[in-house]
Structure 1
């Protein structure tokens, strides 16, 4: 049974720090947004509330990913992070719609804003979000953490835009710049969220991992000496970076010891070239009407791999 590798304590510490800093910034942005009558700042507060939700969900997901597999959850909780990222991205899409709607209303009924206050608060946000995004980047190989990283990176860019907008309002007096900035922020949120929704939904629907090509995997398996054919081949993701494979493999009738050598060759190819450690391989024999297929016993599994259920298949 596969055991999920425990995420580093550094990942959890970064998420805790991000949560505390984001909470403080949400309170400050909302308060000063109201004082400055800036929809752009209030939009930033809403964006950062979604960041808080993202961080909380991601932290919970990291916790669940450390839990071992059980008889009820045989693959453990590897998809907890994927599910958290999916929920995060959906909340961002809803938030983007709300910001765009509020910005259109503000364009119809413009209000005076305080550009200097906008710029000061936004500058603090650029520094905070930039630092957090830099810390999260180290763990961005995980789609769960990457969704939070994109939140913070988007915030860094959008708060930088608020600074430029405040500067433009200060020199031109054009208050419509504030809601236009809000619409730009909404567009950035929507763009970053769409990619996460698509990637996580692909994993949840057990699609073939984007970085793997099924024909290449089949060719690699069939190149192992003794393999005649590979069919019923399925590859899917357990988590953001953990893949599994199930397949039928046709071989010629041979002694059991030769079968185990083929099994080892296939698993080595899958592990070394494609980083697939979870395999379920069912051997079928060709040209044999009376015997049952050969199966490699558990003690002959490849060291360091996680190949399971190497069944025989009768003909």
Structure 2
């Protein structure tokens, strides 16, 4: 399974989403449904997001160069950040329109809303299925978030259409729009937090820096570990660098092999840079007995 198994479906998802977004916008304008118009606007935004995600996935596969020694894997995180910001802007716009519609109710053609919402629901289920095939990354997660927002929007539009069709109660349209906005907002903020954490080179989720440090210090021949840093090149590839204080420098080749095996097998970290050295003062030192980091100078 290669890393871009999910992102390869982005161009098809883009085509399907953009095409139906145009149809939904026309139906929303004709029927007077805010839920349909909002979902259509969401789909157009999604089409932009999917296009950006597809472009980012393509760029991220470019090989390393003299100027970009790591390649361009973080383009996907940047695309996810832009997509999340687009989602926040869309939520604000839809909430505002919902408030206005509650204050000034309009007649809505319930039957049209119901039929178009059913088509949108089927399309979004298909696109979501495409984007969940294979391994995902922050970029694909951001695109999938947009699609899930569309999916919820289609459910809201369908419910609104049915209620209006059988009861004539039009406030259900903006009320359901506000509910869906709240759900989308919660998911967007979660994604935004993950993206920012990656871009700020935070320790990847699921990895404990103290646990890694003490495990490395417990390897035979290592006196202590300091200047330990763990970050992500992208959402899939953690990287590590550290300085190892050795008990015997002549054992370094064996210690290096043991460290690489430990980090790869136990923590899933394969991009590793280690520097052997003699004892030195450092404010964050992990020692072999697993005690708290030593903060005094040696």
Tell me the TM-score normalised to structure 2 length. Answer: 0.90
Structure 1 residues 106-185: aligned runs within 5 Å: 106-139=101-134, 141-185=136-180
Identify if the C-alpha distance between structure 1 residues 6 and 65 changes in structure 2 by more than 3 Å, giving closer, same or farther: farther
Secondary structure of the structure 1 residue equivalent to 2:275: strand
Q: Corresponding residue for 2:4?
A: 7
Deviations 1:211-249 (A, max 9, x none): 110111112211211011011111001101111111111
Q: Corresponding residue for 2:286?
A: none
2:268 aligned with 1:275 = yes
How many Å apart are 1:140 and its aligned residue? 5.2
How many Å apart are 1:65 and its aligned residue? 1.3
Identify if the C-alpha distance between structure 1 residues 140 and 184 changes in structure 2 by more than 3 Å, giving closer, same or farther: farther
Q: Corresponding residue for 2:51?
A: 56
Structure 2 distance, partners of 1:271, 1:7, is 21
Q: 2:71 aligns with which of 76, 79, 92?
A: 76
How many Å apart are 1:38 and its aligned residue? 0.4
Secondary structure of the structure 1 residue equivalent to 2:151: helix
Structure 1 residues 30-109: aligned runs within 5 Å: 30-109=25-104
2:277 aligned with 1:284 = yes
How many Å apart are 1:7 and its aligned residue? 3.0
Instruction: Pick 1 or 2: higher relative contact order, CA cutoff 8 A, min separation 6.
Output: 2
Deviations 1:182-210 (A, max 9, x none): 21222222122111110000000111111
How many Å apart are 1:6 and its aligned residue? 6.7
Q: 2:192 aligns with which of 197, 201, 215?
A: 197
Unpaired runs of 5+ residues, structure 2, are 281-298
Identify if the C-alpha distance between structure 1 residues 6 and 104 changes in structure 2 by more than 3 Å, giving closer, same or farther: closer
Structure 1 distance, partners of 2:206, 2:142, is 18
Structure 1 residues 229-248: aligned runs within 5 Å: 229-248=224-243
Deviations 1:111-170 (A, max 9, x none): 000011001001001100001101111245311111111221221122112111111111
Superposed CA RMSD = 1.6
Structure 1 distance, partners of 2:65, 2:132, is 32
Structure 1 distance, partners of 2:40, 2:134, is 25
Mapped contact 2:125–2:151 kept (Cα < 8 A) = yes
Structure 2 distance, partners of 1:80, 1:11, is 13
Tell me the TM-score normalised to structure 1 length. Answer: 0.85
Count the aligned residue pairs: 280
Structure 2 distance, partners of 1:129, 1:150, is 11
Deviations 1:67-95 (A, max 9, x none): 01112111101101111011000100011
